[in-house]
Structure 1
């Protein structure tokens, strides 16, 4: 069986979060969703479990951090083109998220931007030139990896 990833995120307003994730291209899997959680499918192997705070607390006793004020992790998804990176950031902003909470990065062969969902969880989205990837580490060594 192919290994899957389920990213669990605490959310303050489940319906608002479902609408946001649908706006950036996810689809809701009703088989694993109810009034306390929603399984949002990003790809065949990537799923985001949106959990109400009460549901979240059934998994851990740790406090739910305010993702608007702190960051515990950054999640990054690849896109097929620079235009696709820009499009998903625009969709996120239009759907109630925050476009570019982090500085955009443009290294020529690699391009990245980010958005935050309504709860402040940051998603990076990036594109890498397939020719640079195929060329291997030597292609990257020539570039200073400092945001432009």
Structure 2
């Protein structure tokens, strides 16, 4: 069975968040969204994120909504095909309004760096050397 991953992220301004992620090259499926949510394609046919306004997100939970700029619950980690792809996505994130919480880490066999999106969610991008 082909597994897929779906995750939901609360955002303050849906239009600004869509513009941020579009600047990184992520696509959207408008047929699954509305004024309260946008269905974002992270990896075609495999990984998807639903960007939800904070009010809509709150309607689905019975606990307080964590503010990602103040505290983090998760780091979303995506693999990249090269060091250059890591660097390119980080550069796009910064230009689009994100920030880098730490410099790149180069371990020889692995290279990674993270960014914080405009709502404070942490994303880590990692490349690992092919195993022979």
1:11 equivalent in structure 2:
11
Q: Which runs of 4+ in 1 moved over 6 A?
A: none
Given the two structures, how large is their TM-score scaled by the length of structure 2? 0.94
2:65 equivalent in structure 1:
64
> What CA deviation, in whole Å up to 9, does each residue of 1:25-81 have, x standing for no partner?
210101111000000101121101000011101210211112112110111001111
2:53 equivalent in structure 1:
52
CA distance in 1, matches of 2:76, 2:42: 13
2:105 equivalent in structure 1:
105
> What CA deviation, in whole Å up to 9, does each residue of 1:100-138 have, x standing for no partner?
2134211011000011110000000010001xxx24xxx
* Secondary structure of the structure 1 residue equivalent to 2:111: strand
User: Which blocks of at least 5 consecutive residues in structure 2 are unaligned?
Assistant: none
Greater RCO, 1 or 2 (C-alpha within 8 Å, sep 6+):
2
Higher percent of residues as helix? 1
CA distance in 2, matches of 1:30, 1:77: 23
User: Which blocks of at least 5 consecutive residues in structure 1 are unaligned?
Assistant: 136-148
* Secondary structure of the structure 1 residue equivalent to 2:126: strand
Q: How many positions carry a matched residue from both structures?
A: 131
**Equivalent residue runs for 1:1-148 within 5 Å:** 1-43=1-43, 44-98=45-99, 100-130=100-130, 134-135=131-132
Given the two structures, how large is their TM-score scaled by the length of structure 1? 0.85
